[in-house]
A and B are shown apart, each in its own frame.
Chain A
């Protein structure tokens, strides 16, 4: 399937792309466009104004996507949602100490990245790791060593 979002991906778009590829559509193909009118036919937009998979009810696109895909039963993904919310919006709705670091790392990465596809390749691994860390932390009740 085709999925569309804005270019110059930052934390929320990168996290949505990771979620889609890992849990929803392993063969996902991502296209980047600023203009909503330029979204290819059949592509599902995310983290764009006017998209169902966007910011709604004070939640970031990743949190919206979790409920849209029925993935909000996974506590580790829910926790990831809180980290991404704070990295993206920083409105202090949640206590997420990892968020400011994640924001800086991905902003820096997009500065040196050749393309959005390159960015997603790296952030994909980053979110794999963050998910694993969060999962283990929830299992043992303490930060994994």
Chain B
């Protein structure tokens, strides 16, 4: 598994009420695929994109009367860091497996349903890839399953 050297960390605190900003922030962090290190502490492998995304989440937190600080650093304990990366990878692996299973199931559907599934699964694959920071091997399986579904769709058109 690929290891992240540098991580960007967001420590944040938001008032309990109203709950809407809290859940909006939670949904954003979930979509980014962050590692949840503790209550109000999340991390992502650092690059220009992840730093920027977390900066704007921080801005949203302060816009709603909360507190947010961004940090960049490296773990001192490599075993714990691998466990964190392992948890992140397991989460995206499960998502990839769901895509692969759905692609296989859609292979026997009627042409219209197959086409709808193909469009939806390609989108889903892009979403998952954006939060796959450690080149999770299930990604390749999911991509092959969707390619397979695309080939079946193209054959039906020929």
Instruction: Out of B28, B52, B58, B126, name the residue touching A91 (CB < 8 Å).
Output: B28
Q: Given A90-B130, A91-B28, A91-B31, A49–B58 Cβ distance below 8 Å?
A: yes
Rounded to whole Å, the gap between the CB of B127 and the closest CB of chain A is: 8
| Dominant secondary structure at the B interface | helix
Kindly list 16 other residue pairs between chains A and B, CB separation below 8 angstroms, not including A49-B58, A55-B56.
Answer: A8-B48, A10-B48, A10-B52, A49-B56, A49-B59, A54-B59, A55-B59, A55-B60, A56-B63, A57-B63, A58-B24, A58-B60, A89-B56, A91-B28, A91-B31, A100-B126
Asked whether B55 is an interface residue with its Cβ less than 8 Å from the other chain, the reply is yes
Sample of 21 A–B contacts (CB below 8 Å): A8-B48, A10-B48, A10-B52, A49-B55, A49-B56, A49-B59, A50-B59, A54-B59, A55-B56, A55-B59, A55-B60, A56-B59, A56-B63, A57-B63, A58-B24, A58-B60, A89-B56, A90-B130, A91-B28, A91-B31, A100-B126
CB contact list, B10-24 vs A, under 8 A: 24
B-side contacts of A56, CB under 8 Å:
59, 63
CB contact list, B38-93 vs A, under 8 A: 48, 52, 55-56, 58-60, 63
Chain A contributes a number of interface residues (CB within 8 A of B) equal to 13
A-side contacts of B130, CB under 8 Å:
90
| Dominant secondary structure at the A interface | loop
A-side contacts of B126, CB under 8 Å:
100
Q: Which of B24, B60, B130 has the most CB of A within 10 A?
A: B60
Rounded to whole Å, the gap between the CB of B53 and the closest CB of chain A is: 8
Residues of B within 8 A of A (CB): 24, 28, 31, 48, 52, 55-56, 58-60, 63, 126, 130
Q: Which of A8, A55, A56, A90 has the most CB of B within 10 A?
A: A55
B-side contacts of A90, CB under 8 Å:
130
Q: Which of A8, A10, A49, A58 has the most CB of B within 10 A?
A: A49
CA distance in complex: A91, B130 (Å)? 11
B-side contacts of A89, CB under 8 Å:
56
A-side contacts of B24, CB under 8 Å:
58
Rounded to whole Å, the gap between the CB of A10 and the closest CB of chain B is: 7
Rounded to whole Å, the gap between the CB of A52 and the closest CB of chain B is: 11
A-side contacts of B63, CB under 8 Å:
56-57
Rounded to whole Å, the gap between the CB of B23 and the closest CB of chain A is: 13
A-side contacts of B52, CB under 8 Å:
10
Would you give the 0/1 interface string for A43-72, flagging 1 where the beta carbon is closer than 8 Å to chain B?
000000110001111100000000000000
Q: Which of B48, B56, B130 has the most CB of A within 10 A?
A: B56
Chain B, Cβ-Cβ closest to A100 = B126
Rounded to whole Å, the gap between the CB of A92 and the closest CB of chain B is: 8
Chain B, Cβ-Cβ closest to A54 = B59
